[in-house]
Amino acid sequence: MKFLLKWFAATVAKINCFVNGHGPFEVLHIYEAKAVARYFKGKRIEKLRADSPAELVYEHQKIRCAKCGRISLAWTLIGAMTHTNTEPDAWQ
């Protein structure tokens, strides 16, 4: 009976992630970090304007969804998630 309840809970979690989007995420591994210069300010296309260059730091991460367990690779903007370590792993 426990097996059926665990299976049902996992199935519901996967359907919920598919409908509402994945998250929260757990960072499993950080492959590399890179900095990108952005020369525009504003988030909407109608309100973009030129500005002094701002440096955005992205990390290539292996992440796992805490709800359904899906593992994926993504470039993540530092500051968008709670993880802020920009150093690559020691073995690289």
CB 81: neighbour CB atoms within 10 A?
16
Please report, as a single letter, which amino acid is at residue 16: N
pLDDT at 22 over 50: yes
Q: What percent of the chain has pLDDT over 90?
A: 9
CB 80: neighbour CB atoms within 10 A?
8
Mean of pLDDT values over 20-31: 85
Higher-confidence residue of 30 and 53: namely 30
Higher-confidence residue of 74 and 86: namely 74
pLDDT at 19 over 50: yes
Output the pTM of the full model. Answer: 0.55
Please report, as a single letter, which amino acid is at residue 27: V
